[in-house]
């Protein structure tokens, strides 16, 4: 990694590195960590200013069992153990009756339980420097905004960024767009032309409430009443995160019509009477809520020469079953060894003379797209199930959930694409004995 400031007023500071990662969320931080563990040098750009807070927002906290496995492989699970909250079961109630109660301990995998983990704790652990012989270096520019791409001979060769200290040019063998669902890197690379955005029929209002005393703190809850539903997720700060579905654009109509948050308290009371008192206490103004626009984005091509997308930039998913963070981690872990091998060994190569071959980027997408597609299909099926409003359709939904509830084999078939993608079950004798000791938070 090298840097220079060219002579002349107003010119950009120039930096050279092997990989430039744009975006300091879970996927970007995990990729930077994985690469430095493999001896590669990275510059990471983070747009968000950690000293500023924008108020309530939706940030994924749910980490699937496979996400826990990936964190263990990245060497950070021990660092987040005390901050993580293990979840033991998934419960769905429909029309006031329990129709599904899945116990994660019964799944035949080495990592069986999802956890809740606040993103600041996760990002802090992923950002800890990698030390030891052969470790690479990670330089973080924060806050820094990617404003353009550097190009040469038809390939991306780096990024132009704006920082409080002035413009910076980062020349790199590979540029990675890890900048989320509204990715600027995707747009600047021309990959939006390969993207299909599909709005879902609903948005979600997110809020936090005091945790109802009657509830088990180690359960995910879904409450359904005809075409209305809510997600209730335990949070690491002792509260419950609530996601309420509303029609697309419905919040604007509610607020422009003069409705107060009391309309949400009424809906909460109908879906989950045990949470009615918590809603009265924790939901007082609209500022206690955050709106998440629900859509999926399928990007047919995740790369151009010299650049690749990961995480939400490559494949935006819905919040059902908390898949965004997990697929970002999986992308990072899959991409890092391919890139490290492509860049060679024996000292840091000069970025201007080495480029990650297009075949490596194509192989990365080919290896990951199947798991992403299966998760998306499961999410869309669940979205349709949740929104069935006709009486006959609601009866069919409850019948399906009860059938899954009665069959461990069906539970594995339905949930494995989301929670255990690509994982092989443990041998039957080992699974029957409870499997190996889990390295998960307890």
Distance CA 160, CA 171 (A): 9
Q: How many CA atoms lie within 13 A of 237 on its CB side?
A: 11
| pLDDT at residue 382, rounded to an integer | 82
Nearest CA-CA partner of 91 in 104, 73, 108: 104
Q: Please report which confidence band the pLDDT of residue 292 belongs to, taking 50, 70 and 90 as the band edges.
A: confident
Nearest CA-CA partner of 372 in 27, 28, 88, 18: 27
Q: Into which CATH architecture does domain 202-292 fall?
A: 2-Layer Sandwich (3.30)
Instruction: Give 228-237 pLDDT, tens digit per residue.
Output: 899 999 999 9
Q: Which tokens belong to 246?
A: 């509303």
| pLDDT at residue 347, rounded to an integer | 47
Q: Please report which confidence band the pLDDT of residue 346 belongs to, taking 50, 70 and 90 as the band edges.
A: very low
Q: Please report which confidence band the pLDDT of residue 355 belongs to, taking 50, 70 and 90 as the band edges.
A: low
Mean pLDDT of the chain: 87
Average pLDDT rounded to a whole number, residues 152-180: 95
The more confident residue out of 61 and 405 is 405
Nearest CA-CA partner of 176 in 307, 305, 53, 275: 307
Q: Into which CATH architecture does domain 2-84+113-199+297-383 fall?
A: 3-Layer(bba) Sandwich (3.50)
Nearest CA-CA partner of 53 in 119, 127, 147: 119
The more confident residue out of 32 and 264 is 32
Pairing of strands 145-152, 89-94: unpaired
| pLDDT at residue 345, rounded to an integer | 60
Residues in a beta bridge with 281: none
Does residue 7 carry a pLDDT above 50?
Answer: no
Average pLDDT rounded to a whole number, residues 27-47: 97
Distance CA 113, CA 107 (A): 9
| pLDDT at residue 344, rounded to an integer | 81
Q: Domain-by-domain residue ranges, the chain?
A: 2-84+113-199+297-383, 202-292
Q: Please report which confidence band the pLDDT of residue 117 belongs to, taking 50, 70 and 90 as the band edges.
A: very high
Distance CA 372, CA 314 (A): 10
| pLDDT at residue 114, rounded to an integer | 95
Q: Of all residues in the chain, what percent carry a pLDDT higher than 90? A: 64
Q: Count of CB atoms within 10 A of residue 407's CB? A: 12
| pLDDT at residue 438, rounded to an integer | 55
Average pLDDT rounded to a whole number, residues 381-398: 87
| pLDDT at residue 189, rounded to an integer | 97
């Amino acid at each position: 990694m090298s840097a220079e400031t060219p002579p002349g007023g107003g010119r950009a500071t120039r930096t050279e590195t092997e990989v430039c990662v744009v975006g300091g969320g879970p996927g970007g931080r995990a990729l930077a960590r994985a690469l430095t563990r493999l001896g590669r040098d990275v510059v990471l750009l983070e747009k968000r200013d950690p000293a500023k807070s924008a108020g309530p927002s939706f940030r994924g906290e749910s980490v699937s069992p496979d996400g826990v496995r990936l964190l263990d492989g990245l060497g950070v699970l021990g660092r987040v153990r005390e901050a993580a909250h293990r979840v033991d079961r998934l419960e769905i109630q429909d029309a006031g009756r329990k129709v599904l109660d899945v116990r994660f301990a019964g799944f035949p995998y080495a990592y069986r339980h999802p956890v809740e983990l606040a993103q600041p704790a996760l990002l802090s652990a992923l950002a800890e420097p990698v030390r030891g012989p052969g470790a690479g270096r990670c330089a973080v520019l924060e806050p820094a905004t990617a404003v353009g791409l550097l190009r040469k001979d038809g390939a991306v060769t780096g990024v132009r960024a704006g920082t409080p200290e002035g413009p910076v040019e980062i020349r790199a063998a590979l540029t990675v767009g890890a900048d989320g669902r509204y990715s600027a890197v995707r747009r600047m690379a021309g990959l939006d032309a390969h993207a299909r955005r599909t709005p879902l029929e609903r948005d979600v209002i997110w809020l936090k409430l005091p945790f109802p005393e009657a509830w088990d703190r180690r359960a995910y809850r879904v409450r359904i009443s005809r075409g209305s539903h809510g997600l209730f997720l335990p949070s690491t700060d002792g509260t419950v995160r609530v996601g309420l579905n509303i029609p697309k654009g419905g919040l604007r109509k509610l607020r422009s019509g003069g409705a107060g948050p009391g309309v949400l308290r009424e809906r909460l009371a109908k879906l989950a009477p045990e949470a009615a008192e918590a809603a009265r206490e924790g939901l007082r103004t609209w500022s206690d809520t955050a709106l998440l626009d629900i859509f999926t984005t399928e990007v047919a091509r995740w790369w151009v020469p010299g650049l690749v997308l990961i995480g939400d930039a490559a494949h935006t998913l819905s919040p059902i079953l908390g898949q965004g963070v997990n697929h970002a981690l999986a992308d990072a872990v899959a991409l890092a060894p391919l890139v490290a091998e492509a860049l060679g060994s024996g000292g840091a190569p000069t970025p201007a003379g080495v480029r990650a071959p297009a075949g490596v980027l194509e192989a990365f997408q080919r290896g990951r797209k199947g798991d992403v597609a299966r998760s998306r299909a499961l999410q869309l099926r669940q979205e349709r199930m949740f929104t069935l409003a006709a009486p006959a359709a609601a009866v069919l939904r409850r019948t399906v959930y009860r059938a899954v509830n009665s069959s461990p084999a069906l539970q594995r078939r339905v949930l494995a694409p989301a929670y255990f993608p690509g994982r092989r079950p443990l041998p039957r004798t080992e699974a029957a004995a409870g499997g190996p000791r889990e390295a998960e938070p307890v």
